[in-house]
Structure 1
Amino acid sequence: MKGVVLAAGKGERLRPLTDDRPKVVLKVANKPLINYVLENLDPFVDEFIIIVRYKREKIIETLGDEFNGKPITYVEQLPGNGTAKAIESAKEHVGNEEFIVVNGDIYFEEEAIKELISTFRREKSDAALVVKHFEDLSHFGKIKTEGTLVTKVLEKPGNIPGYANLGIYAFKSSVFDFIAQTELSKRGEYEITDTLNLLIEAGKKVVYAVYEGYWNDIGRPWNLLELNEYLLKNKLKHEIRGTVEEGAVIVPPVEIGEGTVVKSGSYIIGPVKIGKNSRIGPNCFIRPHTSIGDNCHVGNAVEVKNSIIMDHSNAPHLNYVGDSIIGENTNLGAGTITANLRHDRGNIKVEIKGRLEDSGRHKLGAIIGHNVKTGINVSIYPGRKIGSGSLIGPGVVVDRNVPPRTLVIIKQETLVKEL
């Protein structure tokens, strides 16, 4: 059985983290999102077919030609947008076999695939999908059911309870005939949910498998923080492979990679994950639910809490990083502070594709892209985004989003006077 992973999207809602890479390669708990997808598909498939388009070279660089000894085939998505068009791209590689399809930007666990395949084969169905019950379907399509059958896939029905489609499917190859009949949706995309309705209308058997485990659709920056917290709480093993100097305090569980040095005076409260060849301390405070990547530096008088710091990034002096995401190759100047709480303690709103969205969090710091540099004493408001490649000058208060590759400075005259 082949596993088809949809990974062609740009991830617009995750900018600036996706300014120069697809979202499926973003690291959470120091591992690319797509690796979690492949790990949980791995026991059930003999080959991976990955549908790519945007910055495809980044995905190929991340995964290579195989995963756990099983071959990976990369397929460019056909012209047009939407999940149905993405799945159609795999037609020649799937042939006449049954196959699994998974959105590459979601997190799920092995049990979801196990339930899917069991239901698909037991019911001798033409298609099956994984569903989960939510009390509020405002952000999901609703699955109408009758017994074991799916009778209709509906658009977002509003704030009502019900089964939601999780983006995990099993199909017979006959689905490609129905994809060919699928028309453009109102959103201008070819959507697999419309294909499922065509299958149902034609009398084909579409069934559902109920999944009760953890699932997350990584569509917005704060979803990365949610998943990071879940993984550190539930999957982390206490393991020290690096060096911890005398005078440093480690409160388990903490994972420290090879070549990393934790200097005296550092205080780390798990769950925390630190990658390889990083320098931690001296005299820093790393609080729970923080992941720090490879080749990073968290230095003197720095506090990091509930944050993601990606590879090759530094918070070296007098910094506070709270509920924030910092991309790769980014350096915070001395005294750079991320604010993470409004004075009125209200939920933090973040601009997503030109519109303010409620994150649902009353603590959310900065979302900083890749290859960013900040000067000394920079202050960043809650929920603000700094685009990749930007330079923020000394003393700047970042009270609005900064586009990619932007220089932000305070213009002021310097008075030089002889005393």
Structure 2
Amino acid sequence: MTTAHLSHFIASLEDSALAPWASLAPWQLTTQSESIVRQMLQSLDASQFRIDGEVALHRTALIEQGVTLKGPLIIGPGVFVGAHAYFRGGCWITEGCSIGPGCELKSSFLFAQARLAHFNFVGDTIVGRDVNLEAGSIVCNHRNERDDKTVRVRIDGKLVSTGVNKFGAVLGDGCRVGANAVIAPGALLAPGTIIARTALRDDELDAARLASALDPVAMRNA
């Protein structure tokens, strides 16, 4: 993979409401999520959605008690949102998605039939079609452990700066994330990737280890 074009991860991108922004890098999409969702709101069929300010809920969506809905936000047809889920704005949740109890989402786009079990955090992330996150799995969006907060992604084994301080991940179509797994900022998961339960996926660490392993000096000093 020589680029991080979103169509490499999500087959339905060009046929979705995100198609006008398909040329943007994933981290540009999430950084601009509030503006993008506001533009999407303008083209919704008001007869199909209950619209209150910057929050649009499809009339077939089921929203349980205690859910916090902060706009701009679009929740599409047939979506289920469990009790006490929290949407922090800049989110687009399309048809057939399921957001379990106690989940928190921020600046994220979820494609059809994506499922979050419960107590998940998904921040500044793009989730492909038919992705499943088991309970307690987390997609982190911020490197709080270092002074330089810029998120980097791994492309062809090399680290590439995104130029942004907040970016979670791309979860390609059909990914499976096990319970209590942690996905560190900047992960780009190819379609069908499986993350084991309680595992850590950190593309930045993996790239650094690969570079060290291929460095003759590092190998001599190992």
Q: TM-score, normalised by structure 2?
A: 0.79
* Matched position secondary structure for 1:273: strand
Query: 1:338 offset after TM fit, Å?
Result: 1.0
- Per the alignment, residue 281 of structure 1 pairs with 82
1:338 has 2:139 as partner: yes
Q: Distance in 1 between matches of 2:182 and 2:93?
A: 21
Larger radius of gyration: 1
Q: Distance in 2 between matches of 1:264 and 1:241?
A: 22
Q: Distance in 2 between matches of 1:20 and 1:310?
A: 8
Query: 1:269 offset after TM fit, Å?
Result: 0.5
Residues 240, 256 of structure 1: 8 Å contact kept: no
2:110 to 309, 316, 324: 309
Q: Distance in 2 between matches of 1:325 and 1:273?
A: 15
Q: Distance in 1 between matches of 2:189 and 2:63?
A: 29
- Per the alignment, residue 171 of structure 2 pairs with 368
Written as runs of structure 1 = structure 2, the 5 A alignment for 1:239-388 is: 241=48, 252-342=53-143, 343-344=145-146, 346-388=149-191
Q: Which amino acid aligns with 1:224?
A: L
Q: Percent identity?
A: 25
> Residue deviations 1:185-219, cap 9 Å, x none?
xxxxxxxxxxxxxxxxxxxxxxxxxxxxxxxx724
1:21 has 2:20 as partner: no
1:221 to 7, 26, 31: 26
Query: 1:225 offset after TM fit, Å?
Result: 2.1
Q: Distance in 2 between matches of 1:381 and 1:20?
A: 20
> Residue deviations 1:337-370, cap 9 Å, x none?
0111112251101123443221111011121111
* Matched position secondary structure for 1:233: helix
Residues 11, 22 of structure 1: 8 Å contact kept: no
Q: Distance in 2 between matches of 1:225 and 1:324?
A: 7
- Per the alignment, residue 231 of structure 1 pairs with 36
* Matched position secondary structure for 1:13: coil
Q: Distance in 2 between matches of 1:391 and 1:267?
A: 30
Query: 1:228 offset after TM fit, Å?
Result: 3.5
Query: 1:224 offset after TM fit, Å?
Result: 2.5
Cα 1:312–1:230 change in 2 (3 A) is same
C-alpha RMSD over aligned residues: 2.7
Q: TM-score, normalised by structure 1?
A: 0.44
Q: Which amino acid aligns with 1:340?
A: N
Cα 1:20–1:280 change in 2 (3 A) is closer
Q: How many residues align?
A: 200
* Matched position secondary structure for 2:8: coil
Q: Which amino acid aligns with 2:84?
A: N
Written as runs of structure 1 = structure 2, the 5 A alignment for 1:142-157 is: none
- Per the alignment, residue 391 of structure 1 pairs with 194
Q: Distance in 1 between matches of 2:77 and 2:5?
A: 26
- Which structure: greater strand fraction? 1
Q: Distance in 2 between matches of 1:12 and 1:21?
A: 16
Superposed structure 1 runs of 4+ greater than 6 Å apart: none
Q: Distance in 2 between matches of 1:251 and 1:347?
A: 35
Q: Distance in 1 between matches of 2:164 and 2:183?
A: 17
Cα 1:19–1:233 change in 2 (3 A) is closer
Q: Distance in 2 between matches of 1:24 and 1:299?
A: 28
* Matched position secondary structure for 1:255: strand
Q: Which amino acid aligns with 1:370?
A: D
Residues 375, 394 of structure 1: 8 Å contact kept: yes
Query: 1:316 offset after TM fit, Å?
Result: 2.2
> Residue deviations 1:85-116, cap 9 Å, x none?
xxxxxxxxxxxxxxxxxxxxxx5xxxxxxxxx
Q: Distance in 1 between matches of 2:124 and 2:110?
A: 11
**Residue ranges of structure 2 left out of the alignment (5+ in a row):** 205-222
